[in-house]
Structure 1
Amino acid sequence: MSEKLTDIFGIDVFSDAVMIERLPKKIYSALKKTIENGEDLDPNVAEVVANAMKDWAIERGATHYTHWFQPMTGITAEKHDSFISPTSDGKIIMEFSGKELIKGEPDASSFPSGGLRATFEARGYTAWDCTSPAFLREDALGVTLCIPTAFCSYTGEALDMKTPLLRSMEALNKQVLRILKLFGHTDIKHVYPTVGPEQEYFLIDKSKYLKRDDLIFTGRTLFGAMPPKGQELGDHYFGNIKERVASFMKELNIELWKMGVTAKTQHNETAPAQHELAPIFTTANIATDHNQLIMESMKRIANRHNLACLLHEKPFAGVNGSGKHNNWSLVTDTGRNLLDPGKTPHENTQFLLFFTAVIKAVDMHADLLRVSAANPGNDHRLGGHEAPPAIISVYIGTQLEDVLNQIMKNGEAKSCMVGGKINVGVHTIPELYKDASDRNRTSPFAFTGNKFEFRMVGSSMSVGMANTVINTIVADVLSEMADELEQAEDFNLAVHDLIKRTITEHIRVIYNGNGYSQEWIEEAERRGLPNLRSMVDAIPALVTEKAVKLFEKHNVFSKTELMSRRDVLFDSYAKTLNIEAKTMISMAGSQFIPAVVKYTKILADSINSVKEAVPEADISVQKELLIKTSGLLSEAQSALQKLRDLIKEAEGIADGEKKARFFYEKVKPAMEALRTPIDTLELIVDRELWPVPTYGELLFEI
């Protein structure tokens, strides 16, 4: 099996090994300089690369190519073109030029742009991202050559997730190299943010999925009562993987491995029917591309197994939702992880400087981190007792907390805690070496050994924006640090003073306790940490004066691009809740209420029949059920009408922010008011009459 895996891994990737084999040495060398050093791409090089890429793809069965890009929808987009070109004798040849490789022209007006493109301004461009390798995807269309690209408007603004991410990586590289130069590392030419996004998801039976309009139209259940059993026994977590799911996972792994995705870990997650896949770390832009491939492949392959893959952050009320833990670190081109503390972190000045820089960045720009993880689905998850709170804090563990406390108190740290050993009391089991610090699942931004884990990102989201923000805010702090240290007369004295001052000024953001507790919410308020509870509350952080200054300084976003993203997010929130509300109206009006009416008729007929047959019989149970059911039916009908009225009122609101706030403050509570009586009725009405599969059927029958 291991030999087979090594044979198939990356077989569908136009990888470095393929380029070495197929490109002339001078062309390969020139392309590598562009990839590794950011040098301008020579069109002549692109022409040769395009021809080699085309030949390789055709040999592997490809008939079409596509510029694969990531617009502000948060998912990917593609337009396919075949390699064919007609000849004068009525036949065809297979062609692919450097111009076609470098640039594509999709419609820019039909994607979310926040006003950057109007309907009549349709031109937009996709541009080849040579730092992320092209790959082949095989599906019902056949084999398609997919070329990762950036997407920009005719006037040059970024319309996608990739362009700002690449800009932020350049900004971060520049500032990290300034710091490393001060420490004497002149051999390091490039530093990359590396990312490993863990992906949580649900799998349910496809036939049951197709019987629920809410799952089809919104990705989550808008109605549904909890079954007698949920996740309380903890028996699903890391449990034995069911055969049907295992078959899906096996095919998923193979397809991902062929496309060069280093799928590593798979297991059952906490909630029933919930699972997780985690890849090995790679550079941030490739990790972002790979995560999109993972999500797309999950949905496509699930369908082959008569399963539906749910990536919504909260598909089922009452059980854990799904997140995407974004593990972020900094790695040099010489292979060194700059966030690895080593065995003696108290003596590792370089690590402590980068470590405290991240802490400062998180404290100064918590609002931007919060909005980078904001989508309508995540509002159901953040702040619940299953995911990080909406308050941003940093967990650093007891070892590093002790080191920083020593620095604040004495100006330096002279010791650090060590892990020690664990003896489990069984002679045949060896002693275990334990880490110097525990882990904290409740922290939204946790240091986990040699990386920071940003745990707030929603399961359906691109990790592009989160990493763009992390890269930029860290770059900004490092820029300030470099400005100060480059002017210092005594570097060693200055760097130790800077570390002490940084942690002293930003200690408030460090919290190693229970982030789920009410006590922490109150403590965070006393510390002055922001608590942006909803997406609507978080969005304005994108266009504050501080944010605009930050992103423009590092050429990551212009003010116009930030305003467009603000408008896209407000619009997305309003449209998402509008779709959910209309789906609820449809389901309640055409499915649930008619089913309950039918049930009340059965109850009423039963009362009359029993009373007629046996006048002295006790019919109090039937009467009580009829009264209770009729009352809930009336409550549901009233809530349904109110929701209809609110949706009609929302149609007249033109301003994007006002509309989003209307949905958050008015429509969302009305949706809950409609759900409550119907979920109660589900537990009363005859199961045979209930029009949709229940939570018990969806979560456990697979």
Structure 2
Amino acid sequence: MSLETKTRNPVEYFGENVFDDRVMRERLPKETYRALKQCVGEGLPLTAKIAEVVANAMKDWAISKGATHYTHWFQPLNGFTAEKHESFISPIDNGGAIMEFSGKMLIKGESDASSFPSGGLRAVFEARGYTMWDPTSPAFLKEDRAGVTLCIPTAFCAWSGEALDEKTPLLRSVKALNKHALRLCRLFGDHDVKQVHTSVGAEQEYFLIDLDHYRQRKDLVLTGRTLFGAKPSKTQEMSDHYYAGLNEQVAGFMKEIDEALWKMGVSAKTKHNEAAPCQHELAPIFSVENISADQNQLIMETLQRVALKHNLACLLHEKPFEYINGSGKHNNWSITTDNGQNLLEPGDNPYDNAKFVVFLCAVIQAIDKHAGLLRVSAASASNDHRLGGYEAPPAVISICLGEPLSDILKNIACQAEHGEESKRMLDFGVPTMPQMYADSCDRNRTSPFAFTGNKFEFRMLGSSQTISWANTILNTIVAETLDEFATRLEGAEDFDGEIQRIIADVYENHSRVIFNGNGYSQEWMEEAARRGLPNLKNTVEAAKELIRPEVVELFDKYDVYDRQEMAARYDIMLDIYTRRILIEARTMAEMARTQLYPAISRYLTEAAQAVKALGDIGKASRSQQDKLDCLISLLDSMDEDIVLLTDKIGRADGMKKDHEACAAFCAGEILPAMNDLRVVTDRLESMVDSRFWPIPTYSEILFNV
């Protein structure tokens, strides 16, 4: 971080490393600027002539800021981002060089498409893949030890045309939602609206731990979570970390994170300590869904990169530690127009806002009809450890509307009498404090999908997951319902009467998904089962949603995924799930065999020698002998569990080509075997002299004690 940045007002440098509208307006000819804006705003094809002018201006701007390389920055189907750096340098005949960047280089790059997950879309020998410039997401400069690099957000597809990334389907889903939302807007008389998109803000949770502790734990380095660890005497029960003041090291880290993100145009707004020790959160301001998805990937990259500079490790795993909260990512989602309307804004009186109620009903029907599909968007091996506990929403999808809005919907559907809702004044009992009104509904942190005033908060996503997949699904399922509603209204003789019938139909057929109570309670699980709501408890169960014929038909109908791409998604999800579980299992077996077992044996030998020495002088201790016997028994159990887990790993390796069978075996056999090994090993940790324990404990990692 430069001294200049430290002393500057953030307003002065916000977005200075982004090739945004301000830069384009300044550096592009007026005709090119207008043509590019029209392409982006109206979804028109981009010409080679426009690209050539933009490329030259982008190159000059990047070089003026110290850039020597550019990269097509894309999101393959492994959950990460990818980049291949190319220098601007091009040799010339006299032995010198020039800095060159053409429209062709901007528009198209080439990458190996067979080394990234493809779900069978690309064979090993079919390597050609293309990265294609996405002009709707601005290019930006990334500053790191490599220097300054121009990053160009791109889509990634195979030589044969199939999408191999997260961005392409998201953009397709935006197109589908825009088409049918526009139909509805026009039916309600909004003819000035030219484009409808979704607005997204993703709150990002993460852990920060000492880098030395991280490096001493092979499980953290290789899997992102602790595979062993006895429960410490203190966890988060005192609530003393939540919203507490930042310590100096974390404060310095967060300051640099803010400055790095602000320079790249990411509007990092909120930062604070979260509920668990060493856990924190960063939240940006809302943005258009595609840009928000790109920026969330950039946030995760930046968190992990900057942490190293502060001798910290940033953990994005959903459940790096047992006994304390894991980390999620709250995806705040709304539907907005290019002229500033939020179509999920109730207005002063939702009863009179028919358009709001219709869009609300579209979301309710979509979520109920495709609850299992939305569950898939939050499914992963790592998030399975978090969902369903008392720290995250349950695996059952439901919508919290709040009692006032639920009552309004019911009354409209049933044509019941209703009165105007009165605002409630909050009384703190302190005369000097200012008066304020309460919101119309409370917040429900146990709900997977909660309405929070003018948006929905999808709370199930895991901290390491891309938000593109979830928003692709949300956009598509809502587009389907908007299509249905628009078709009904376009053919209606009585427009207002048809609106009433739509609301009544949604309430009658889909209100089962509305639940405003405690999603953590067993009573809700039983009630959800009675309502017929799906409860897909793990990734293997959830993934089957992707191959249901009606789901395949849905994505194919709205041109988001074709049938081959959908089948590939299913295959990739199971394959990645299996790979992650097996990496964890191998790591666990290796740590137990080569680190923990020998350490426990050394302690056991010392303990046995102490018992023998006391016995030799006639002072044998019954408690020492009992402890020794217990240690011997537990160590034998540990060895048996290591052998059993190793055997199961071998069996899983033998069925890797059958992704369905291998994933089911990992869920049903490998994970229970890992749990058995952990239980006995964690018990041993609590009995062994701390001088002998070879890896940092939870108390050391979380509390530095």
User: 1:349 is matched with which residue?
Assistant: 354
Aligned to 2:452: 448
Q: Which of 294, 300, 313 is matched with 2:299 structurally?
A: 294
Alignment of 1:91-130 (within 5 A): 91-130=96-135
2:694 paired residue number = 691
**Counterpart residue number, 1:90:** 95
Q: What's the CA shift for 1:408?
A: 3.0
Instruction: Write the mapping of 1:122-271 to structure 2, written as runs, cut at 5 A.
Output: 122-271=127-276
Q: Distance in 1 between matches of 2:423 and 2:699?
A: 44
CA contact (8 A) 2:413 2:500 kept: no
Cα deviation, residue 414, structure 1: 3.4
- In the alignment, does 2:603 pair up with 1:622? no
Structure-2 change in CA distance of 1:413 and 1:554 (3 Å): farther
Letter in 2 for 1:530: P
Evaluate the alpha carbon distance shift between residue 53 and residue 413 of structure 1 in structure 2; reply closer, same or farther with a 3 A threshold.
farther
2: CA distance, partners of 1:363 / 1:66? 41
Letter in 2 for 1:633: L
**Are residue 561 (structure 1) and residue 565 (structure 2) matched?**
yes
Q: Given that residues 52 and 102 in structure 2 are in contact (C-alpha distance below 8 angstroms), is that contact kept between their aligned partners in structure 1?
A: yes
* Secondary structure of 1:106's aligned partner: strand
Confirm or deny: 8 A CA contact 1:137 1:144 kept in the other structure. yes
Tell me the TM-score normalised to structure 2 length.
0.98
Measure how far apart 1:511 and its partner are.
Answer: 0.3
Matches within 5 A, 1:23-102: 23-102=28-107
- Conservation of the 8 A alpha-carbon contact between 1:104 and 1:127: yes
1:464 is aligned to: 468
Q: How far does the alpha carbon of each residue in 1:91-147 deviate from its partner, in whole angstroms, 9 at most, with x for none?
A: 000000000000000100000000000110000000000000000000010000000
- Cα deviation for residue 453 of structure 1 reads 0.5
* Alignment partner of 1:526 is 2:527: no
Q: Of 470, 483, 490, which aligns to 1:486?
A: 490
What secondary structure does 2:112 align onto? Answer: coil
The residue number in structure 1 matching 2:331 is: 326
Give the aligned CA root-mean-square deviation in angstroms: 1.1
Alignment partner of 2:609 out of 605, 609, 618: 605
Deviates more, 1:646-655 or 1:673-682: 646-655
Following TM superposition, by how much is the alpha carbon of 1:346 offset from its aligned partner in structure 2, in angstroms?
A: 1.5
Alpha-carbon distance in structure 2 between the residues aligned to 1:2 and 1:181:
50
- Write the distance in 1 (CA, Å) between the matches of 2:217 and 2:93: 54
Cα gap change, 1:109 to 1:413, in 2 (>3 Å): farther
Could you say which residue in structure 2 is the equivalent of 1:682? 685
CA offsets 1:278-310 (integer angstroms, 9 cap, x no match): 000000000000000000000000000000000
Question: Which residue matches 1:580?
Answer: 584
Amino acid across the alignment from 2:418: K
Native 8 Å contact 2:375 2:536 kept in 1: yes
Does the alignment pair 1:657 with 2:660? yes
Q: What is residue 12 of structure 2 aligned with on the other side?
A: 7
**Do structure 1's residue 514 and structure 2's residue 509 form an aligned pair?**
no
Q: What are the superposed Cα offsets for residues 542-570 of structure 1, whole Å, 9 maximum, x if unpaired?
A: 12111111101110000100100100011
Cα distance in 1 for partners of 2:425, 2:602 equals 66
Gaps of 5+ in 1: none
The structural deviation recorded for 1:701 is 2.2
User: Separation in 2 of the partners of 1:503 and 1:350?
Assistant: 16
Supply the distance in 1 between the matched residues of 2:459 and 2:341 (Cα, whole angstroms): 24
In structure 1, distance between residues paired with 2:451 and 2:586: 42
Deviations 1:59-91 (A, max 9, x none): 000000000000001110000000011110000
SS at match of 1:39: coil
Q: Structure 2 CA distance, aligned partners of 1:266 and 1:214?
A: 28
The 1-side partners of 2:517 and 2:206 are apart by: 28
Contact 1:418–1:436 at 8 Å: present in 2 too?
Answer: no
Q: Give the Å deviation of 1:208.
A: 0.6
TM-superposition CA deviations, 1:328-349 (whole Å, max 9, x none): 0011111111101012112111
The question of 1:370 aligning with 2:349 is answered no
Amino acid at match of 1:173: N
Aligned to 2:3: none
Q: CA deviation at 1:493?
A: 1.4
Counterpart in the other structure of 1:417 = 421
**Quick check: 1:532–1:538 contact (8 Å CA) kept in 2?**
yes
In the alignment, the residues of structure 1 paired with residue 233 and residue 348 of structure 2 have an alpha-carbon distance, to the nearest angstrom, of 49
Cα distance per residue 1:462-517 (max 9 Å; x no partner): 00000000000000000011111000012111112211221221010000010001
1:672-699 alpha-carbon deviations (Å, 9 max, x no partner):
0000011011111000100000001111
1:476 corresponds to 2:500: no
CA distance in 2, matches of 1:442, 1:180: 33
Q: Does 1:590 align with 2:594?
A: yes
* CA positional deviation for 1:406: 1.0
| Equivalent residue for 1:438, pick from 413, 427, 442 | 442
2:290 corresponds to which of 276, 285, 302? 285
Alpha-carbon distance in 2 for matches of 1:646, 1:497: 56
| Matches of 2:419 and 2:146, distance apart in 1 | 61
Q: Report if the CA contact (8 A) 2:685-2:693 is conserved.
A: yes
CA contact (8 A) 1:195 1:284 kept: yes
Aligned 8 A contact 1:339 1:354 in 2: yes
Shift of 1:610: 1.2
Query: Could you tell me how far 1:365 is from its partner in structure 2?
Result: 0.3
Equivalent residue for 1:339, pick from 317, 341, 344: 344
Q: Distance in 1 between matches of 2:242 and 2:351?
A: 37
Residues 602 and 521 from structure 1, CA distance in 2 versus in 1: closer, same or farther, beyond 3 angstroms? same
The answer to whether the 8 A contact 1:346-1:415 is kept is no
Partner of 2:649: 647
The separation in 1 between residues aligned to 2:167 and 2:413, in whole angstroms, is: 40
Indicate if the aligned counterparts of 2:611 and 2:620 stay in contact, CA closer than 8 A: no
What is the distance in 2 between the residues matched to 1:570 and 1:525? 26
Aligned to 1:543: 547
Q: Contact 1:195–1:283 at 8 Å: present in 2 too?
A: yes
CA distance in 1, matches of 2:308, 2:644: 37
- Bigger drift between 411-420 and 495-504 goes to 411-420
CA contact (8 A) 1:178 1:482 kept: yes
* 1:419 Cα deviation from its structure 2 partner: 3.3
**Secondary structure, aligned partner of 1:376:** coil
Secondary structure of 2:111's partner? coil
Which amino acid in 2 is paired with 1:665? G
Q: Is the CA contact 2:413–2:504 (under 8 Å) kept in the aligned structure 1?
A: yes
Amino acid of the structure 1 residue aligned with 2:436? L
8 Å contact 1:175–1:479 — kept in the other structure? yes
Q: Which residue of 2 aligns with 1:671?
A: 674
Shift of 1:618: 4.7
Change (3 A) 1:588 1:413: farther
Q: Distance in 1 between matches of 2:345 and 2:493?
A: 28
Q: What do the CA deviations read for 1:151-170 (whole angstroms, capped 9, x no partner)?
A: 00000000000000000000
| Number of residue pairs matched by the alignment | 699
Note if contact 1:345-1:416 (Cα within 8 Å) is conserved in structure 2. no
The residue type paired with residue 701 of structure 1 is N
For 2:507 and 2:101, locate their aligned partners in 1 and report how far apart those are by CA, in whole Å.
Answer: 55
Q: Is the 8 A contact 1:403 1:413 kept in 2?
A: no
